[in-house]
Structure 1
């Protein structure tokens, strides 16, 4: 079984969580993130880059 992300534990707090962008963005290629009550959109461009906009 393939792992999609890793979690941190107290002993490895310096290692950030990882998640595959395809899993995060889904088939639509974008996701809305709520941060401190504000909405942000993370999307993949046609060139394969990631753009975060408010």
Structure 2
């Protein structure tokens, strides 16, 4: 993976990290889009991942 490829689809990259064993609870809210004020986005990520896990 090159630097150029790495940022093409951040969601796909996030998915791959989770598949490799990354723990969702270890994701820092302040590193998500919107920072600490973006907790709604963080909750959306958690919701979407829950849907993907059940489907």
The reply to whether TM is greater than 0.5 is: no
TM-score by length of 2: 0.31
More strand by share: 1
More helix, by proportion: 2
Mark the structure with the bigger radius of gyration: 1
